[in-house]
């Protein structure tokens, strides 16, 4: 009687303890199901970003349609955005109500914020290498690329805290689109690698006016020799090229340094002379470039179909477009022998759900976005590059690159921008990702915008101004709250000593295991004696 | 310090006098003449000391006056650079100079008074003083006079030096900061901007501060950006319109704004892609109400003069709906496919329900693009629904606001069948 009760009591106690632990979680961590039932209907949502480009939305729609043919039980609903920031805001809003999308185009900076919620974003380490459903897995019903066929630099950009939380989808960088005719009119030649000194010198020359107030270079009342679309990238790349502080992986902010001040003084100087402006202050770089009102326009390679006289897309009327030769170069450098440029572009993350089957369906769709057909089709809509080696090395893609300039689909500026990135993949970099890195990025750009705006408003830009700017930006973006402080470590909260209840629970847990082991031992000895 | 010197001198003299008193009296017969001579000498010494002190004081005062004059001259120069700043400087310098003069005068007066007291004491006792003592007294008086003069001069020099360095520091500082002060004065003057007329607003250069009294015509959007509420609204007065972009505004204030409400807006004039707007603005509610009538500008379509109506509430009448156009397929004849919509989500059809609606309508053979801006009129609005029902060939009247993006891009708020 006594013997019979012991195992029952042990088992009940252990089960109670272990079940109690499991039930304490708000949302279960995702575990890969052993199988995927293609008969069970699945509804998943896909929040995607396009560049206000009908072809891109068409590619998403086609990808969904093709995927649904392979997995008829999975229905994918597309929601389109044209702005990463809006996706980010909507996801944040929906996390609190547990109504996040299943699959979402995003940036690692944003994922860092999403994953502050417990088990909100699915960690992909196991999924990527799973033999059945992983990249190139045996039970995936389409030809998916293996993990080693994803460009390593791009896959590594999806690492957060040492784990994969996204797959790269497309990659781009920034390019400098140049009115070569204007550069030569000013007595210069476009070098292979632009330097900042060259850009400023030519821009100053282009800012000269005649007696009637028209610019000598174009005879117009409007001329912005050098215009930058994304000033956060501008500051980030300048600091990287100067090997100056920005931030580290732990979230320590290093951007408020003397090099930053020096760069801002330079930008102020050229803003004052009228040689420089920004998208936020003036308008899209392409509009000025194509109207003959700009010499150097820096924008994403993913905006290349808008750049140049023959651009397939344009926001200005045809009668305003000026004919000129467009050159494409990497962004200006401080050290032309060691070029550095930002790597950007969308990635895909998966949000956790109660039903692991839904998560697996989401993963399969995300994986489908890496197939050659989707990768090449989407990349070719703009100056993107595919993120898989299989797509990059395919004959079809090589043919596409070779057909440069033959028609609108092979617009020369777009392919030049693409080729420039392909040639410089090893020269790209990303900034450290942590909860708050998106705010730091905004702050980097804001310092340029504020400085330029202040100069235009004839405010004095001096050391006192810089100090105030640093303080204001720190406050506006709450950067002082990101710094490692008391109770925090590596951006994560240190919870302090375990509460007494937790200690007691752990003690009971240990005791349960000890009793289980003892019981098993006693049983074994008893069997041995009986035998 | 100066008073201490004088006090020391007085004590020294008293000590000397006390020493003298301990001596035995001299011969009565010579005492009178000696005393007279001593008195005469003492008086002369006192007189000389007084003259010296007075002269020193005068010199000091003159030096102070000269310094004040120089400082005032410097201040006048500074005034030419920055009037407001130099007024402060001159005031400061004058105060320093006045203080210096006052202090020097006080020291000189104290010294003179002390010498006079000593001289009087000397005269009263000198009759009992022997020759050698008289001689000592003469020396002492001379020393006292010289010491007094030195003390006064030193005090004057110290004060002048202090006054000069203070004044110099003030002037140097002001000269260095003159431009800054002038800019601040200019900036401060901006804070004192008067409300502009529409004509003045139009004439104001981009990037300069502006202040207008205007009336809310439509609220386009409110959202929180970096933790701050931002409102974008169309406003108008009797003479023209003002597009207020991302004005600082709490959500509560935004919800309280109603059509026609008068507000006073302060900000900077900006221009983005041709759209003239007020940015970085703040506002306050004012008493007044004006709801503008839509002005018929149909005849100005395609003409430069249309730009004069930028941001105003306008009407276009008697237009004909044209077929939708997409970037992919080019012009599609909706007339041939009767049920096809005459709009696109987004400029090229890349959007979806809830996004901006673009549609085209023609007037006198020319086709123009119109937009239902989804923040201004979302998918639940009547105009959004009405545009989705449009078919090529429909005759329509439109109302909206004349937004600008690289040319006219009317944001439509109403579409009705042509009257």
Q: Do residues A182 and A154 share a domain? A: no
* The length of chain B, given as a count of residues: 419
First to last CA, chain A: 21
Q: Dihedrals φ, ψ of B266, to 5°?
A: -120, 130
The helix/strand/coil state of B199 is helix
- Count of CB atoms within 10 A of residue B170's CB? 20
CA dist A496 → A21, A104, A488, A501 (Å): 20, 35, 10, 14
- Measured CA to CA, the distance from residue B228 to residue B86 in angstroms comes to 40
Indicate whether A289 and A435 sit together in one domain. yes
Range of the domain at A476: 174-343+430-481
Mean pLDDT of A522-527: 72
pLDDT, one tens digit per residue, over A80-118 is: 998 888 999 999 999 989 899 999 999 999 999 998 888
Query: Do A398 and A439 belong together in one domain?
Result: no
Q: What is the pLDDT of residues A162-206, one digit of tens each?
A: 999 999 999 999 999 999 999 999 999 999 999 999 999 999 999
pLDDT band at residue A515 under the 50/70/90 scheme: confident
Mark whether A129 and A200 lie in a shared domain.
no
| CATH number of the CATH domain containing A366 | 3.40.190.10
Q: Is the Cα torsion angle B107, B109, B112, B118 positive or negative in sign?
A: negative
List CB contacts (< 8 A) between B349 and chain A: 54
Q: How confident is the model at residue A460 (pLDDT cuts 50, 70, 90)?
A: very high
**Could you read off the pLDDT of B321-359 as tens digits, one per residue?**
999 865 443 333 333 444 678 999 999 898 999 999 999
CATH architecture, domain defined by B295-417: Beta Barrel (2.40)
pLDDT of residue A68: 98
For the stretch A414-456, pLDDT in tens is: 999 999 999 999 999 999 999 999 999 999 999 999 999 999 9
pLDDT at B69: 64
Q: What is the mean pLDDT of chain A?
A: 90
pLDDT (0 to 100) of residue A419: 98
Is residue A477 within 8 A of residue A232, CB to CB? The reply is no
Number of domains in chain A: 3
Number of C-beta neighbours around residue B123 at 10 A: 15
B236: closest CA among B281, B178, B295? B295
Q: How far apart are CA A397 and CA A416, in angstroms?
A: 14
Q: Could A82 and B351 be called an inter-chain contact, meaning their C-beta atoms sit closer than 8 Å?
A: yes
In a domain, A29, yes or no: no
Residue A421 lies in a domain: no
Per-residue pLDDT tens for A317-369?
999 999 999 999 999 999 999 999 999 999 999 999 999 999 999 999 999 99
Q: Locate the DSSP E strands across B83-208.
A: none
Q: Are B379 and B307 in contact (CB under 8 A)?
A: no
Q: For B298-327, what is each residue's pLDDT tens digit?
A: 999 999 999 999 999 999 999 999 998 654
pLDDT value of residue A516: 74
Distance of CA B26 to the CA centre of its chain: 81
Mutate to test the interface with B, among A312, A457, A479 (most CBs of B within 10 A): A457
Cβ neighbours around A124 below 10 Å, total? 23
Chain B window 167-196: which residues touch A at a Cβ cutoff of 8 Å? 180, 183, 186-187
Chain A residue with Cα closest to B208 = A457
Q: Under an 8 A CB cutoff, do A313 and B327 touch?
A: yes
CB contact under 8 A, B351 and A80: yes
**pLDDT single digits (tens) B355-373:** 999 999 999 999 999 999 9
pLDDT digits (tens, 9 = 90+) for B15-59: 444 443 333 334 344 445 545 665 666 566 556 756 655 665 566
Same domain, yes or no: A391 and A445? no
- The answer on pLDDT for B126 being more than 60 is no
Q: Is residue A422 part of a domain?
A: no
**For helices A372-379 and A54-70, what crossing angle results, to 10°?**
170
Rounded-to-10 torsion of CA A426, A152, A80, A431: -60
CATH assignment, B198-289: 2.40.50.140
A59 touches A369 (CB < 8 A):
no
Nearest-CA residue of chain A relative to B327?
Answer: A54
The region, left, alpha or beta by phi > 0 then psi within -120 to 50, assigned to residue B75 is alpha
Task: Write out the E strands in A152-303.
Answer: 159-160, 163-164, 167-168, 170-171, 174-179, 226-228, 276-278, 296-300
Q: Choose the closest CB to B348 out of A52, A283, A287.
A: A52
What six digits make up the tokens of B172? 């140097």
CB of B208 less than 8 A from some CB of A: yes
In a domain, residue A32? The reply is no
Lookup result for tokens 């003479």: B239
What's the CA gap between A376 and A370, in Å, rounded?
9
B400-412: average pLDDT: 97
B337 close contact with A: CB closer than 8 A: no
Q: Percent of chain B scored above 90 by pLDDT? A: 47
Is 70 exceeded by the pLDDT of residue B87?
no
The partner residue sitting opposite A287, judged by closest CB among B208, B349, B406, is B406
C-alpha torsion sign, points A384, A388, A389, A392: negative
**How many C-beta atoms lie closer than 10 Å to residue A157's C-beta?**
23
What does DSSP say about strands A42-49 and A103-106: parallel, antiparallel, or unpaired? parallel
Q: DSSP state, A56?
A: H
Contacts of A207 (CB under 8 A, 6+ apart): A215, A223, A225, A273, A274, A275
Whether A77 maps to a domain, the answer reads yes
B348 chain-A contacts, CB cut-off 8 A = 52-54
Whether the CB of B327 is below 8 Å from some CB of chain A: the reply is yes
A332/A456 same-domain check: yes
CB contact under 8 A, B347 and A52: yes
* Domain edges within chain B: 2-184, 198-289, 295-417
C-beta atoms surrounding A473 within 10 Å: 21
Question: What whole-number distance in Å separates Cα of residue A391 and Cα of residue A399?
Answer: 12
Tokens at B170, concatenated: 């003030």
Q: Residue A8 corresponds to which tokens in the numbers above?
A: 């029952």
Q: Which residues of A touch B280 (CB under 8 A)?
A: 453
Question: Phi-psi category of A270—alpha, beta or left, where left has phi over 0 and alpha has psi -120 to 50?
Answer: alpha
Residue A33 confidence (pLDDT) above 50? yes
Q: One fold for both B198-289 and B295-417?
A: yes
pTM: 0.73
Q: Which residue of A48, A54, A447 to mutate against B (max B Cβ within 10 Å)? A: A54
A136 and A100 share one domain:
yes
């Amino acid at each position: 009687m006594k013997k019979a009760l012991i195992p029952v009591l042990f088992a009940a106690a252990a089960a109670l303890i272990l079940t109690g632990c499991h039930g304490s979680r708000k949302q279960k961590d995702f575990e890969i199901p052993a199988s995927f039932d293609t008969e069970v209907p699945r509804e998943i949502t896909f929040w995607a970003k396009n560049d206000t480009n009908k072809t891109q939305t068409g590619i998403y729609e086609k990808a969904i349609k093709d995927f649904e043919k392979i997995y008829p039980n999975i229905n994918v609903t597309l929601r389109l955005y044209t702005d990463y920031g809006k996706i980010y805001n909507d996801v944040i809003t929906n996390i609190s109500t547990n109504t996040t999308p299943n699959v979402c185009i995003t940036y690692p900076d944003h994922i860092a914020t999403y994953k502050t919620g417990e088990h909100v974003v699915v960690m992909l380490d196991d999924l990527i290498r799973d033999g059945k459903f992983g990249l190139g897995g045996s039970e995936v019903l389409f030809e998916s690329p293996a993990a080693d066929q994803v460009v390593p630099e791009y896959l590594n950009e999806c690492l957060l805290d040492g784990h994969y939380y996204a797959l790269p989808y497309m990659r781009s960088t920034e390019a400098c689109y140049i009115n070569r005719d204007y550069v030569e009119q000013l007595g210069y030649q476009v070098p292979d690698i632009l330097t900042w000194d060259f850009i400023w010198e030519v821009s100053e020359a282009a800012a000269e006016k005649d007696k009637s107030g028209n610019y000598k270079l174009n005879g117009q009342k409007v001329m912005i020799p050098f215009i930058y679309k994304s000033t956060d990238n501008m500051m980030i790349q300048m600091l990287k090229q100067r090997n100056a502080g920005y931030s580290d992986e732990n979230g320590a902010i290093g951007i408020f340094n003397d090099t930053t001040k020096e760069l801002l003084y330079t930008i102020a100087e050229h803003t004052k002379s009228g040689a420089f402006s920004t998208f936020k202050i003036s308008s899209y770089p392409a509009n000025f470039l194509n109207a003959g009102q700009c010499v150097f326009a820096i924008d994403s390679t993913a905006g290349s179909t808008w750049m140049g006289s023959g651009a397939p897309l344009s926001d200005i009327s045809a009668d305003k477009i000026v004919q000129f030769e467009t050159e494409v170069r990497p962004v200006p450098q401080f050290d032309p022998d060691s070029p550095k440029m930002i790597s950007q572009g969308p990635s895909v993350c998966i949000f956790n759900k109660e039903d692991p089957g839904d998560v697996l369906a989401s993963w399969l769709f995300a994986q489908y976005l890496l197939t050659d057909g989707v990768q090449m089709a989407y990349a070719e809509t703009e100056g993107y590059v595919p993120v898989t080696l299989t797509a990059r090395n395919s004959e079809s893609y090589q043919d596409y690159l070779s057909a440069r300039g033959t028609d609108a689909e092979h617009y020369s500026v777009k392919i030049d921008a693409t080729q420039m990135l392909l040639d410089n993949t090893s020269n790209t970099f990303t900034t450290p990702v942590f909860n708050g890195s998106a705010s730091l990025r905004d702050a980097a750009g804001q310092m340029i915008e504020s400085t330029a705006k202040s100069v235009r408003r004839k405010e004095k830009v001096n050391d006192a101004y810089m100090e105030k700017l640093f303080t204001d930006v720190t406050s506006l973006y709450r950067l002082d709250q990101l710094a490692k402080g008391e109770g925090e470590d590596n951006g994560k909260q240190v919870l302090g000593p375990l509460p007494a209840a937790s200690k007691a629970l752990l003690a009971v847990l240990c005791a349960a295991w000890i009793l289980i082991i003892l019981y098993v031992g006693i049983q074994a000895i008893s069997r041995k004696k009986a035998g | 310090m100066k008073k201490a010197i004088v006090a020391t001198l007085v004590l020294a003299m008293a000590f000397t006098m006390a020493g003298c008193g301990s001596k035995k009296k001299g011969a009565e017969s010579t005492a009178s003449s000696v005393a007279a001579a001593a008195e005469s000498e003492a008086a002369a010494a006192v007189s000389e000391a007084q003259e010296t002190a007075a002269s020193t004081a005068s010199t000091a005062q003159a030096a102070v006056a000269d310094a004040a004059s120089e400082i005032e001259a410097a201040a006048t120069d500074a005034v030419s650079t920055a009037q407001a700043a130099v007024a402060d400087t001159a005031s400061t310098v004058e105060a320093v100079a006045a203080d210096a003069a006052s202090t020097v005068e006080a020291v000189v007066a104290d010294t003179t008074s002390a010498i006079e007291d000593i001289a009087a004491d000397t005269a009263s006792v000198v009759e009992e003083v022997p020759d050698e003592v008289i001689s000592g007294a003469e020396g002492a008086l001379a020393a006292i006079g010289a010491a007094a003069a030195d003390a006064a001069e030193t005090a004057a020099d110290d004060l002048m030096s202090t006054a000069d360095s203070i004044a110099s520091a003030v002037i140097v500082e002001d000269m260095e900061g003159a431009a800054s002060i002038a800019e601040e004065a200019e900036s401060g003057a901006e804070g004192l901007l008067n409300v502009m007329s529409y004509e003045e607003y139009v004439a104001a250069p981009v990037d300069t501060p502006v202040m207008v009294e205007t009336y809310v015509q439509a609220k386009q959007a409110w959202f929180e950006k970096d933790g701050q509420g931002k409102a974008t609204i169309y406003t108008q007065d009797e003479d023209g319109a003002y597009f207020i972009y991302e004005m600082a505004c709490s959500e509560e204030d935004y919800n309280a704004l109603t059509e026609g409400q008068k507000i006073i807006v302060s900000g900077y004039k900006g221009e983005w892609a041709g759209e003239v707007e007020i940015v970085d603005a703040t506002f306050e509610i004012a008493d007044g109400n004006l709801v503008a009538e839509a002005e018929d500008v149909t005849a100005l379509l395609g003409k430069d003069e249309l730009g004069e109506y930028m941001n105003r509430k306008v009407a276009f009448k008697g237009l004909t709906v044209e077929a939708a156009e997409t970037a992919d397929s080019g012009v599609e004849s909706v007339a041939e496919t009767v049920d096809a919509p005459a709009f696109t989500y987004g400029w090229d059809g890349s959007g979806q329900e809830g996004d901006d609606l673009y549609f085209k309508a023609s007037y006198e053979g020319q086709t123009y693009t119109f937009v239902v801006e989804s923040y201004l009129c979302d998918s639940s609005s009547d105009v959004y629904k009405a545009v989705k029902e449009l078919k090529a060939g429909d005759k329509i009247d439109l109302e909206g606001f004349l937004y600008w993006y690289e040319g006219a891009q009317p944001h439509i708020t109403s579409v009705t069948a042509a009257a």
